Protein backbone atom coordinates (compact mmCIF):
# COMPACT_ATOMS: atom_id res chain seq x y z
CA UNK A 1 0.00 0.00 0.00
CA UNK A 2 1.22 3.49 -0.89
CA UNK A 3 0.18 6.55 1.11
CA UNK A 4 0.09 10.07 -0.29
CA UNK A 5 -0.54 12.86 2.22
CA UNK A 6 -2.61 15.91 1.39
CA UNK A 7 -0.94 18.48 3.63
CA UNK A 8 -3.55 21.00 4.80
CA UNK A 9 -2.67 21.53 8.45
CA UNK A 10 -5.50 20.37 10.70
CA UNK A 11 -7.45 19.29 7.60
CA UNK A 12 -4.66 17.03 6.32
CA UNK A 13 -5.58 13.50 5.30
CA UNK A 14 -4.06 10.41 3.71
CA UNK A 15 -4.76 8.85 0.34
CA UNK A 16 -4.32 5.08 0.69
CA UNK A 17 -3.52 3.44 -2.65
CA UNK A 18 -3.39 -0.31 -3.26
CA UNK A 19 -5.17 -3.45 -4.40
CA UNK A 20 -7.85 -4.90 -2.09
CA UNK A 21 -8.15 -1.91 0.23
CA UNK A 22 -11.96 -1.98 0.23
CA UNK A 23 -11.67 -5.11 2.38
CA UNK A 24 -9.32 -3.43 4.86
CA UNK A 25 -12.00 -2.42 7.33
CA UNK A 26 -9.48 -0.98 9.78
CA UNK A 27 -8.58 1.74 7.26
CA UNK A 28 -12.19 2.91 7.20
CA UNK A 29 -12.83 2.57 10.93
CA UNK A 30 -9.71 4.57 11.77
CA UNK A 31 -11.37 7.67 10.32
CA UNK A 32 -14.88 7.20 11.77
CA UNK A 33 -15.28 9.07 15.04
CA UNK A 34 -18.89 8.22 15.89
CA UNK A 35 -21.08 5.13 15.65
CA UNK A 36 -23.39 6.22 12.82
CA UNK A 37 -22.31 5.60 9.22
CA UNK A 38 -24.16 6.36 6.00
CA UNK A 39 -22.77 4.83 2.81
CA UNK A 40 -23.85 6.73 -0.32
CA UNK A 41 -23.40 4.81 -3.57
CA UNK A 42 -25.20 4.38 -6.88
CA UNK A 43 -27.23 1.67 -8.58
CA UNK A 44 -24.23 0.35 -10.52
CA UNK A 45 -21.52 0.35 -7.85
CA UNK A 46 -23.72 -0.77 -4.96
CA UNK A 47 -24.21 -4.37 -6.13
CA UNK A 48 -20.45 -4.71 -6.66
CA UNK A 49 -18.92 -3.21 -3.53
CA UNK A 50 -21.52 -2.04 -1.00
CA UNK A 51 -21.57 -5.25 1.06
CA UNK A 52 -17.77 -5.27 1.28
CA UNK A 53 -17.67 -1.72 2.65
CA UNK A 54 -20.50 -2.35 5.10
CA UNK A 55 -18.67 -5.44 6.39
CA UNK A 56 -16.16 -3.08 8.02
CA UNK A 57 -18.81 -1.93 10.48
CA UNK A 58 -20.19 -4.51 12.88
CA UNK A 59 -21.71 -3.64 16.26
CA UNK A 60 -21.65 -1.08 17.83
CA UNK A 61 -21.81 0.76 14.49
CA UNK A 62 -25.11 1.46 12.78
CA UNK A 63 -24.85 1.54 9.01
CA UNK A 64 -27.47 2.95 6.63
CA UNK A 65 -27.13 2.86 2.85
CA UNK A 66 -28.52 5.02 0.08
CA UNK A 67 -28.20 4.42 -3.69
CA UNK A 68 -28.44 7.20 -6.25
CA UNK A 69 -29.28 6.55 -9.89
CA UNK A 70 -26.12 6.23 -11.97
CA UNK A 71 -25.23 9.14 -14.24
CA UNK A 72 -24.06 12.74 -14.43
CA UNK A 73 -27.62 13.83 -15.21
CA UNK A 74 -28.56 12.97 -11.61
CA UNK A 75 -25.94 15.27 -10.09
CA UNK A 76 -28.60 17.82 -9.21
CA UNK A 77 -30.05 19.73 -6.30
CA UNK A 78 -33.02 17.37 -6.37
CA UNK A 79 -30.91 14.29 -5.66
CA UNK A 80 -28.70 16.18 -3.23
CA UNK A 81 -31.92 16.94 -1.37
CA UNK A 82 -32.82 13.26 -1.46
CA UNK A 83 -29.58 12.46 0.39
CA UNK A 84 -30.44 15.01 3.06
CA UNK A 85 -33.98 13.61 3.36
CA UNK A 86 -32.50 10.14 3.85
CA UNK A 87 -30.14 11.33 6.60
CA UNK A 88 -32.94 13.10 8.43
CA UNK A 89 -35.33 10.17 8.11
CA UNK A 90 -32.68 7.86 9.58
CA UNK A 91 -31.95 10.38 12.35
CA UNK A 92 -28.28 10.87 11.64
CA UNK A 93 -26.65 13.25 14.09
CA UNK A 94 -23.70 15.63 13.84
CA UNK A 95 -21.38 12.76 14.79
CA UNK A 96 -22.30 10.70 11.74
CA UNK A 97 -19.80 9.86 8.99
CA UNK A 98 -20.77 9.68 5.33
CA UNK A 99 -18.89 7.35 3.01
CA UNK A 100 -18.87 8.10 -0.72
CA UNK A 101 -18.67 4.79 -2.57
CA UNK A 102 -18.63 5.44 -6.29
CA UNK A 103 -17.27 7.67 -9.00
CA UNK A 104 -17.04 11.42 -9.23
CA UNK A 105 -20.77 12.09 -9.12
CA UNK A 106 -21.24 10.12 -5.90
CA UNK A 107 -18.13 11.67 -4.37
CA UNK A 108 -19.10 15.23 -5.23
CA UNK A 109 -22.68 14.84 -4.03
CA UNK A 110 -21.78 13.01 -0.83
CA UNK A 111 -19.13 15.60 -0.04
CA UNK A 112 -21.59 18.43 -0.58
CA UNK A 113 -24.14 16.71 1.62
CA UNK A 114 -21.46 16.25 4.31
CA UNK A 115 -20.43 19.90 4.05
CA UNK A 116 -23.97 21.12 4.61
CA UNK A 117 -25.76 18.51 6.73
CA UNK A 118 -26.10 20.00 10.23
CA UNK A 119 -23.41 22.51 9.17
CA UNK A 120 -20.84 19.85 8.44
CA UNK A 121 -20.17 16.18 9.23
CA UNK A 122 -17.22 13.90 8.46
CA UNK A 123 -16.98 11.99 5.21
CA UNK A 124 -14.66 9.48 3.56
CA UNK A 125 -13.99 8.91 -0.12
CA UNK A 126 -13.90 5.38 -1.53
CA UNK A 127 -13.62 6.14 -5.26
CA UNK A 128 -14.43 3.33 -7.67
CA UNK A 129 -13.40 4.87 -10.99
CA UNK A 130 -9.97 5.84 -12.25
CA UNK A 131 -11.11 9.42 -12.77
CA UNK A 132 -12.34 9.69 -9.19
CA UNK A 133 -9.20 8.11 -7.75
CA UNK A 134 -6.80 10.45 -9.53
CA UNK A 135 -8.89 13.62 -9.47
CA UNK A 136 -12.32 14.23 -8.01
CA UNK A 137 -11.85 12.41 -4.69
CA UNK A 138 -8.76 14.47 -3.86
CA UNK A 139 -8.89 18.14 -2.93
CA UNK A 140 -12.26 18.77 -1.35
CA UNK A 141 -14.26 20.15 -4.26
CA UNK A 142 -17.87 19.12 -3.74
CA UNK A 143 -21.10 20.13 -5.40
CA UNK A 144 -23.84 19.57 -7.94
CA UNK A 145 -24.61 20.77 -11.43
CA UNK A 146 -27.10 23.45 -12.43
CA UNK A 147 -28.90 23.39 -15.78
CA UNK A 148 -26.91 26.50 -16.75
CA UNK A 149 -23.50 25.22 -15.72
CA UNK A 150 -21.51 22.34 -14.30
CA UNK A 151 -20.63 22.32 -10.57
CA UNK A 152 -22.16 25.73 -10.04
CA UNK A 153 -23.45 24.88 -6.54
CA UNK A 154 -21.05 23.46 -3.99
CA UNK A 155 -18.40 23.93 -1.32
CA UNK A 156 -14.75 23.27 -0.54
CA UNK A 157 -14.85 20.49 2.06
CA UNK A 158 -12.09 17.98 2.67
CA UNK A 159 -12.64 14.27 3.38
CA UNK A 160 -11.08 12.53 6.36
CA UNK A 161 -9.31 10.08 4.06
CA UNK A 162 -9.37 8.58 0.57
CA UNK A 163 -9.27 4.80 0.05
CA UNK A 164 -8.15 4.21 -3.55
CA UNK A 165 -8.51 0.49 -4.21
CA UNK A 166 -6.90 -0.16 -7.59
CA UNK A 167 -8.56 -3.58 -7.71
CA UNK A 168 -11.87 -1.93 -8.67
CA UNK A 169 -10.55 -1.24 -12.16
CA UNK A 170 -11.23 -4.88 -13.03
CA UNK A 171 -14.99 -4.18 -13.04
CA UNK A 172 -14.79 -0.74 -14.66
CA UNK A 173 -16.17 -0.61 -18.23
CA UNK A 174 -13.54 0.20 -20.83
CA UNK A 175 -15.07 3.55 -21.74
CA UNK A 176 -15.22 4.67 -18.09
CA UNK A 177 -11.63 3.57 -17.55
CA UNK A 178 -10.31 5.47 -20.58
CA UNK A 179 -12.22 8.56 -19.45
CA UNK A 180 -10.14 8.56 -16.27
CA UNK A 181 -6.94 8.60 -18.30
CA UNK A 182 -7.83 12.11 -19.50
CA UNK A 183 -7.29 13.51 -16.01
CA UNK A 184 -4.07 11.51 -15.70
CA UNK A 185 -2.72 13.01 -18.92
CA UNK A 186 -3.71 16.46 -17.70
CA UNK A 187 -1.21 16.26 -14.84
CA UNK A 188 1.62 15.65 -17.28
CA UNK A 189 0.58 18.60 -19.44
CA UNK A 190 0.25 21.08 -16.59
CA UNK A 191 3.05 20.09 -14.22
CA UNK A 192 5.27 17.14 -15.15
CA UNK A 193 6.78 16.83 -18.63
CA UNK A 194 8.53 13.62 -17.60
CA UNK A 195 5.22 12.04 -16.61
CA UNK A 196 3.69 13.16 -19.93
CA UNK A 197 6.55 11.49 -21.81
CA UNK A 198 6.09 8.35 -19.72
CA UNK A 199 2.40 8.29 -20.64
CA UNK A 200 3.26 8.70 -24.34
CA UNK A 201 5.62 5.72 -24.09
CA UNK A 202 3.29 3.59 -21.97
CA UNK A 203 -0.10 4.43 -23.44
CA UNK A 204 -0.74 0.84 -24.54
CA UNK A 205 0.13 -0.52 -21.07
CA UNK A 206 -2.20 1.99 -19.45
CA UNK A 207 -5.10 1.18 -21.76
CA UNK A 208 -4.48 -2.53 -21.16
CA UNK A 209 -4.68 -1.87 -17.39
CA UNK A 210 -1.32 -3.45 -16.65
CA UNK A 211 -1.00 -3.40 -12.83
CA UNK A 212 2.47 -1.85 -12.65
CA UNK A 213 1.46 0.93 -15.03
CA UNK A 214 -1.75 1.64 -13.11
CA UNK A 215 0.04 1.73 -9.78
CA UNK A 216 2.37 4.40 -11.14
CA UNK A 217 -0.48 6.31 -12.79
CA UNK A 218 -2.58 6.56 -9.62
CA UNK A 219 0.27 7.37 -7.26
CA UNK A 220 1.90 10.02 -9.46
CA UNK A 221 -1.42 11.67 -10.28
CA UNK A 222 -2.35 11.85 -6.59
CA UNK A 223 1.09 13.24 -5.70
CA UNK A 224 0.78 15.99 -8.28
CA UNK A 225 -2.74 16.95 -7.27
CA UNK A 226 -1.93 16.82 -3.56
CA UNK A 227 0.99 19.21 -4.10
CA UNK A 228 -1.23 21.71 -5.92
CA UNK A 229 -4.08 21.47 -3.39
CA UNK A 230 -1.70 21.88 -0.44
CA UNK A 231 -0.36 25.08 -2.00
CA UNK A 232 -3.78 26.53 -2.89
CA UNK A 233 -6.72 24.77 -1.25
CA UNK A 234 -9.47 27.15 -2.35
CA UNK A 235 -8.28 27.88 -5.89
CA UNK A 236 -7.23 31.48 -5.44
CA UNK A 237 -4.18 31.08 -7.69
CA UNK A 238 -2.16 27.94 -8.46
CA UNK A 239 -4.98 25.40 -8.18
CA UNK A 240 -6.63 26.93 -11.23
CA UNK A 241 -4.09 25.08 -13.40
CA UNK A 242 -5.99 21.87 -12.61
CA UNK A 243 -8.75 23.24 -14.85
CA UNK A 244 -6.72 22.83 -18.05
CA UNK A 245 -9.23 21.77 -20.71
CA UNK A 246 -12.11 21.91 -18.25
CA UNK A 247 -13.73 25.19 -19.32
CA UNK A 248 -14.09 23.78 -22.83
CA UNK A 249 -15.11 20.40 -21.45
CA UNK A 250 -17.72 21.73 -19.05
CA UNK A 251 -19.29 23.75 -21.88
CA UNK A 252 -19.49 20.60 -24.01
CA UNK A 253 -21.13 18.70 -21.16
CA UNK A 254 -23.63 21.48 -20.48
CA UNK A 255 -24.63 21.91 -24.14
CA UNK A 256 -25.08 18.15 -24.62
CA UNK A 257 -27.13 17.68 -21.45
CA UNK A 258 -24.49 15.63 -19.59
CA UNK A 259 -25.48 12.55 -21.58
CA UNK A 260 -23.46 12.45 -24.82
CA UNK A 261 -19.97 12.63 -23.28
CA UNK A 262 -18.47 11.26 -20.10
CA UNK A 263 -16.70 13.92 -18.05
CA UNK A 264 -13.27 12.55 -18.93
CA UNK A 265 -14.14 12.45 -22.62
CA UNK A 266 -15.22 16.09 -22.49
CA UNK A 267 -11.99 17.01 -20.70
CA UNK A 268 -9.95 15.10 -23.30
CA UNK A 269 -11.54 17.11 -26.11
CA UNK A 270 -11.19 20.25 -24.00
CA UNK A 271 -7.44 19.69 -23.61
CA UNK A 272 -7.04 19.37 -27.38
CA UNK A 273 -9.03 22.59 -27.82
CA UNK A 274 -6.95 24.34 -25.16
CA UNK A 275 -3.72 23.19 -26.80
CA UNK A 276 -5.01 24.38 -30.17
CA UNK A 277 -5.90 27.81 -28.77
CA UNK A 278 -2.54 28.00 -26.99
CA UNK A 279 -0.81 27.49 -30.33
CA UNK A 280 -3.06 29.95 -32.17
CA UNK A 281 -2.17 32.61 -29.60
CA UNK A 282 1.53 31.97 -30.07
CA UNK A 283 2.04 30.59 -26.57
CA UNK A 284 2.73 26.96 -27.49
CA UNK A 285 4.59 25.47 -30.48
CA UNK A 286 2.29 23.67 -32.88
CA UNK A 287 4.49 20.59 -32.51
CA UNK A 288 3.66 20.49 -28.76
CA UNK A 289 -0.05 21.01 -29.47
CA UNK A 290 0.04 18.05 -31.83
CA UNK A 291 1.75 15.95 -29.12
CA UNK A 292 -1.20 16.67 -26.84
CA UNK A 293 -3.66 15.60 -29.52
CA UNK A 294 -1.71 12.43 -30.32
CA UNK A 295 -1.37 11.51 -26.64
CA UNK A 296 -5.11 11.92 -26.12
CA UNK A 297 -5.82 9.68 -29.12
CA UNK A 298 -3.27 7.08 -27.99
CA UNK A 299 -5.19 6.66 -24.74
CA UNK A 300 -8.34 5.84 -26.69
CA UNK A 301 -10.01 9.18 -26.02
CA UNK A 302 -11.91 11.45 -28.42
CA UNK A 303 -10.12 14.45 -29.92
CA UNK A 304 -12.98 15.92 -31.96
CA UNK A 305 -15.88 17.81 -30.36
CA UNK A 306 -19.49 17.26 -31.36
CA UNK A 307 -20.75 19.80 -33.86
CA UNK A 308 -21.98 22.80 -31.87
CA UNK A 309 -22.25 26.47 -32.81
CA UNK A 310 -19.15 28.35 -31.72
CA UNK A 311 -21.26 31.16 -30.29
CA UNK A 312 -23.11 28.66 -28.09
CA UNK A 313 -19.81 27.30 -26.84
CA UNK A 314 -18.52 30.78 -26.03
CA UNK A 315 -21.75 31.59 -24.18
CA UNK A 316 -21.55 28.35 -22.18
CA UNK A 317 -17.89 28.97 -21.38
CA UNK A 318 -18.92 32.39 -20.11
CA UNK A 319 -20.96 30.68 -17.40
CA UNK A 320 -17.90 28.81 -16.08
CA UNK A 321 -16.76 29.34 -12.50
CA UNK A 322 -13.39 30.58 -13.75
CA UNK A 323 -15.03 33.73 -15.16
CA UNK A 324 -13.86 36.73 -13.10
CA UNK A 325 -15.70 40.06 -13.24
CA UNK A 326 -17.34 39.01 -16.48
CA UNK A 327 -13.99 38.15 -18.07
CA UNK A 328 -13.31 34.65 -19.35
CA UNK A 329 -10.16 33.07 -17.88
CA UNK A 330 -8.56 30.03 -19.45
CA UNK A 331 -5.68 27.77 -18.56
CA UNK A 332 -3.41 27.65 -21.61
CA UNK A 333 -0.16 25.78 -22.19
CA UNK A 334 3.23 27.38 -22.77
CA UNK A 335 5.10 24.05 -22.96
CA UNK A 336 4.50 20.40 -22.16
CA UNK A 337 4.56 20.44 -18.35
CA UNK A 338 3.84 24.15 -18.01
CA UNK A 339 0.63 26.17 -18.19
CA UNK A 340 -0.59 29.63 -17.25
CA UNK A 341 -3.95 31.15 -16.40
CA UNK A 342 -4.83 34.13 -18.56
CA UNK A 343 -7.67 36.50 -19.35
CA UNK A 344 -5.86 37.65 -22.50
CA UNK A 345 -7.96 35.62 -24.89
CA UNK A 346 -8.00 36.45 -28.61
CA UNK A 347 -11.69 36.23 -29.45
CA UNK A 348 -11.12 35.38 -33.10
CA UNK A 349 -8.54 32.73 -32.23
CA UNK A 350 -11.06 31.18 -29.84
CA UNK A 351 -13.72 31.06 -32.55
CA UNK A 352 -11.18 29.59 -34.99
CA UNK A 353 -10.32 26.87 -32.47
CA UNK A 354 -13.97 26.02 -31.98
CA UNK A 355 -14.61 26.00 -35.73
CA UNK A 356 -11.60 23.80 -36.57
CA UNK A 357 -13.28 20.58 -35.45
CA UNK A 358 -11.34 17.54 -36.60
CA UNK A 359 -8.52 19.73 -37.94
CA UNK A 360 -7.44 20.68 -34.45
CA UNK A 361 -3.76 21.41 -33.88
CA UNK A 362 -2.96 21.37 -37.60
CA UNK A 363 -1.73 24.95 -37.90
Q: Write out the catalytic residue numbers.
A: 119, 141, 183, 225, 235, 239, 243, 246, 250, 263
CA–CA–CA angle 127, 129, 133 (5° rounding): 55
Q: E strand or H helix at 312, and its extent?
A: helix 310-317
Distance CA(363)–CA(354), nearest Å, equals 14
What are the DSSP E strand ranges found in the chain?
A: 2-6, 13-18, 36-42, 62-68, 97-102, 122-127, 141-146, 149-156, 162-165, 330-335, 338-342
- Cβ contacts of 140 within 8 Å, gap of 6 or more: 11, 111, 156, 157, 158, 159, 229, 233
Q: For residue 278, give the nearest of 322, 320, 340 by alpha carbon.
A: 340
Q: E strand or H helix at 310, and its extent?
A: helix 310-317
Where does 30-127 have alpha helices with state H?
51-54, 77-89, 104-116
Distance CA(80)–CA(94), nearest Å, equals 18
Q: E strand or H helix at 262, and its extent?
A: none
Residue 28 · residue 53 · CB < 8 Å:
yes
Q: E strand or H helix at 308, and its extent?
A: none
Instruction: Give the three-state DSSP class for 157.
Output: coil
Amino acid sequence: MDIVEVALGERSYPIHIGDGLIDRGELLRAHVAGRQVAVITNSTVGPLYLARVCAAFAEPYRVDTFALPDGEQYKTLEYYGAILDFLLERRHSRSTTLIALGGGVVGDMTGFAAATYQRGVDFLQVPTTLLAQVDSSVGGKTGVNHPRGKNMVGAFYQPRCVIADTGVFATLPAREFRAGLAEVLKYGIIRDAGFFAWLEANAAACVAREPAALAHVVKRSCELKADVVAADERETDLRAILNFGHTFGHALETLTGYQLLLHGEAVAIGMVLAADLSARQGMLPWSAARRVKMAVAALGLPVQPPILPGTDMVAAMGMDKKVVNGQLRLVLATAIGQVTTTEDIDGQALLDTLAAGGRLCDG
